[in-house]
């Protein structure tokens, strides 16, 4: 009887509450976090990691020699095996995906614990001669965590002083970091989700547009603008348009190196992306500090091409971009050399976007090269023809037309001869009597120029002068000497 009680007590000691929790197989654990994976992905080098650990590693430029994070492919088979193992072994709780902030903290600790890795990374950044690699290194230095990596002691030239606060004080919000990490991801679905989210957030929120416009985000966005996938390219450029709406962002965007990809989109991107690219160039050209740089980088030819063959939206935005860019003398010279004057005059004659094109012609008439090209191209006859027919969509367009004529009147005797032949005096007198105050003022100035007496007039062969279509200002000065301006 006593032995029976002893056996009963022994069975109580083997109750289920004292059983050990099963250990997961090593292949189910993420090599970076050491935890059971909930969203495993395979990378180019063949290893499998938790997705956000890979994204955090890409964001912080952490890549040990044996790892390659170029592409990311979901490992659905392993994910299913992990879930089945947890259920079979009553493993609780079922693993959930690691949030991006925790992943960034884990990767940051790995970087901080690897001094040799930091030295190698610093050496590679300083020895690179590629602008893109320097920008990428600086963007990586602007880490996602609250403890910045001491990798670069100086910033590349492309960063403005106004953006230094953003480099020293990276954005803290988890949502921002998730978008940036996904933009840098090699997975197409991540990239598309990120640019769509960025476009939605920056569409109406002014604070978000300022907050997101950091060197790190612009660096990631720059490469997606020329994506061969329509959704990624279109939404990337549209998000950039939203970011460019803030005046504080315009110079930073141009200095980040985004204009060349925008030009590539204008030349051969998807149609909707081309529309957005024209809008982005227009928005960026509003800042005086950007005008020369945009022209130097080659934006003028694709903008002119868009006027001929782009969509209606692209044509309007391109015309406005050209107007603002033509406020700079260097861009006016480039436009003349590209043969833009004849294009603009043809558009005026056809009545298409007359108001916006007239603004550009008004700017071109303010330069010596523009005056010569417009006089050679028949601009005086064209503009006076518009005045005679009163074919203007607004009084502003009429004022621009008179402004362009006044600019041409500074071309001297050749303008005077062309204007007289086209009956300019009668039309200008009518403007004096019936036009707005600004129109009257411009008409008065043009008439004053036409009524001035030049000593050279008595010796000028007007018929020969008017018939010489290729006579330019410089050739005229060689024959008759300097003109009065």
For the stretch 205-220, pLDDT in tens is 888 999 899 998 999 9
Share of the chain above pLDDT 70, in %: 76
Query: Is 80 exceeded by the pLDDT of residue 142?
Result: no
> Taking the CA atoms of the chain, what radius of gyration do you get in angstroms?
34
Whole-number average pLDDT of the chain: 78
For 251-272, write each residue's pLDDT tens digit. 999 999 999 999 999 999 999 9
What's the mean pLDDT in 442-449? 87
Looking at per-residue pLDDT, the higher value among 306 and 452 belongs to 306
For 16-70, write each residue's pLDDT tens digit. 444 566 788 888 899 888 889 999 988 877 788 998 888 888 877 787 777 878 7
Lookup result for tokens 């090269």? 369
Query: Is 90 exceeded by the pLDDT of residue 224?
Result: yes
Predicted confidence band of residue 424 (pLDDT cuts 50, 70, 90) = confident
Helices 368-376 and 413-421 sit at what angle, rounded to 10 degrees? 30
Residue 150 CB partners (closer than 8 Å, separation 6+): 118
Per-residue 3-state assignment (H helix, E strand, C coil) for the chain: CHHHHHHHHHHHCCCHHHCCCCCCCHHHECCCCCCECCCEEEECCCCEEEHHHHHHHHHCCCCCCCCCCCCEEECHHHHHHHHHHHHHCCCCCCCCCCCHHHHHHHHHHHHHCCHHHHHHHHHHHHHCCCHHHHHHHHHHHCCCCCCCCCCCCCCCCCCCHHHHHHHHCCCCCHHHHHHHHHHCCCCHHHHHHHHHHHHHHHHHCHHHHHHHCCHHHHHHHHHHCCCCCHHHHHHHHHHHHHHHCCHHHHHHHHHCCCHHHHHHHHHHCCHHHHHHHHHHHHHHHCCHHHHHHHHHCCCHHHHHHHHHHCCHHHHHHHHHHHHHHCCCHHHHHHHHHCCHHHHHHHHHHHCCCHHHHHHHHHHHCCCHHHHHHHHHCCHHHHHHHHHHHCCCCCHHHHHHHHHHHHHHHCCCHHHHHHHHHCCHHHHHHHHHHHCCHHHHHHHHHHHHHHHCCCHHHHHCCHHHHHHCCCCCHHHHHHHHCCCCC
- Domains, the chain, ranges and CATH? 26-129 (3.30.40.10), 158-297 (1.25.10.10), 365-485 (no CATH)
pLDDT (0 to 100) of residue 122 = 33
Burial label, 254 (beta-carbon count in 10 A; 0-12, 13-18, 19+) = buried
Predicted confidence band of residue 279 (pLDDT cuts 50, 70, 90) = very high
Query: Is 70 exceeded by the pLDDT of residue 427?
Result: yes
Q: List phi, psi (to 5°) of 148.
A: -65, 150
What's the mean pLDDT in 441-469? 66
Between CA 4 and CA 339 the distance in angstroms is: 110
Between CA 291 and CA 299 the distance in angstroms is: 10
What's the mean pLDDT in 148-173? 33
Predicted confidence band of residue 470 (pLDDT cuts 50, 70, 90) = very low
pLDDT (0 to 100) of residue 482 = 45
Predicted confidence band of residue 373 (pLDDT cuts 50, 70, 90) = very high
Between CA 326 and CA 42 the distance in angstroms is: 51
What's the mean pLDDT in 460-476? 52
pLDDT (0 to 100) of residue 292 = 93
* Structure tokens given for 125: 């950044």
Query: Is 60 exceeded by the pLDDT of residue 353?
Result: yes
Between CA 23 and CA 27 the distance in angstroms is: 12
pLDDT (0 to 100) of residue 134 = 30
Query: Is 50 exceeded by the pLDDT of residue 119?
Result: no
pLDDT (0 to 100) of residue 118 = 42
Looking at per-residue pLDDT, the higher value among 19 and 452 belongs to 452
Query: Is 70 exceeded by the pLDDT of residue 484?
Result: no
pLDDT (0 to 100) of residue 467 = 57
For 380-394, write each residue's pLDDT tens digit. 899 988 888 877 778
Burial 177-213 (b: 16+ CB within 10 A, else e): bbbbbbbbbbbeebbbbbbbbbbebbeeeeebbebbb
pLDDT (0 to 100) of residue 68 = 79
Predicted confidence band of residue 468 (pLDDT cuts 50, 70, 90) = low
Between CA 179 and CA 194 the distance in angstroms is: 5
Query: Is 70 exceeded by the pLDDT of residue 426?
Result: yes
Burial 86-107 (b: 16+ CB within 10 A, else e): beeeebeeebeebebbebbbbb
Share of the chain above pLDDT 90, in %: 33
pLDDT (0 to 100) of residue 271 = 93
Query: Is 80 exceeded by the pLDDT of residue 293?
Result: yes
For 303-350, write each residue's pLDDT tens digit. 999 998 878 999 999 999 999 999 999 999 999 999 999 999 999 888
pLDDT (0 to 100) of residue 392 = 76
Lookup result for tokens 């043969």? 339
pLDDT (0 to 100) of residue 460 = 56
* Structure tokens given for 283: 């928005």
pLDDT (0 to 100) of residue 242 = 95
Whether the Cβ atoms of residue 117 and residue 111 lie closer than 8 Å to each other: yes
């Amino acid at each position: 009887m006593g032995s029976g009680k002893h056996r009963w007590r022994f069975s109580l000691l083997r109750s289920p509450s004292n059983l050990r929790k099963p250990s997961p197989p090593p292949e189910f654990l993420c090599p970076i976090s050491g935890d059971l994976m909930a969203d495993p992905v395979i990378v180019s080098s063949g290893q499998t990691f938790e997705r956000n650990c890979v994204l955090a590693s890409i964001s912080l430029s952490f890549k040990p020699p044996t790892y390659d994070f170029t592409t990311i492919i979901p490992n659905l088979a392993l994910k299913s095996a992990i879930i089945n193992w947890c259920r079979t072994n009553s493993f609780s709780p079922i693993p959930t995906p690691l949030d991006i902030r925790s992943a960034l903290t884990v990767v940051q600790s790995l970087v901080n614990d690897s001094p040799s890795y930091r030295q190698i990374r610093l050496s590679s950044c300083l020895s690179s001669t590629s602008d893109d690699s320097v920008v990428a290194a600086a963007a990586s230095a602007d880490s996602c965590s609250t403890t910045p990596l001491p990798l670069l002691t100086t910033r590349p030239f492309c960063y403005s002083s106004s953006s230094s606060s953003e480099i020293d004080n990276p954005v803290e919000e988890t949502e921002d970091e998730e978008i940036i990490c996904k933009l840098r991801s090699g997975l197409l679905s991540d990239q598309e989700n990120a640019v769509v989210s960025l476009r939605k957030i920056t569409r109406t929120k002014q604070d978000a547009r300022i907050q997101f416009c950091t060197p790190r985000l612009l660096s990631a966005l720059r490469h997606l603008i020329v994506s061969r996938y329509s959704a990624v390219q279109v939404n990337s450029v549209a998000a950039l348009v939203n970011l460019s709406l803030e005046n504080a962002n315009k110079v930073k965007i141009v200095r980040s190196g985004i204009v060349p990809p925008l030009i590539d989109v204008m030349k051969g991107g998807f149609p909707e992306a081309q529309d957005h690219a024209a809008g982005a160039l227009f928005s960026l050209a509003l800042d005086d500090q950007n005008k020369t740089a945009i022209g130097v980088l080659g934006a003028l030819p694709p903008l002119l091409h868009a006027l001929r063959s782009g969509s209606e939206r692209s044509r309007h935005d391109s015309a406005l971009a050209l107007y603002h860019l033509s406020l700079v003398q260097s861009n006016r010279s480039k436009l003349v050399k590209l043969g833009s004057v004849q294009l603009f005059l043809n558009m005026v004659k056809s009545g298409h976007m007359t108001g916006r094109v007239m603004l550009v012609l008004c700017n071109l008439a303010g330069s010596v090269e523009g005056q010569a090209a417009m006089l050679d191209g028949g601009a005086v006859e064209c503009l006076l023809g518009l005045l005679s027919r009163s074919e203007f969509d607004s009084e502003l367009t009429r004022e621009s037309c008179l402004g362009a004529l006044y600019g041409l009147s500074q071309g001297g005797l050749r303008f005077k001869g062309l204007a007289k032949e086209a009956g300019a005096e009668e039309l200008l007198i009518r403007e004096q009597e019936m036009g707005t105050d600004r129109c009257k003022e411009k008409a008065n100035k043009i008439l004053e120029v036409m009524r001035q007496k030049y000593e050279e007039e008595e010796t000028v062969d007007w018929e020969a002068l008017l018939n010489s279509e290729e006579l330019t200002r410089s050739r005229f000065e060689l024959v008759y000497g300097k003109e009065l301006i």
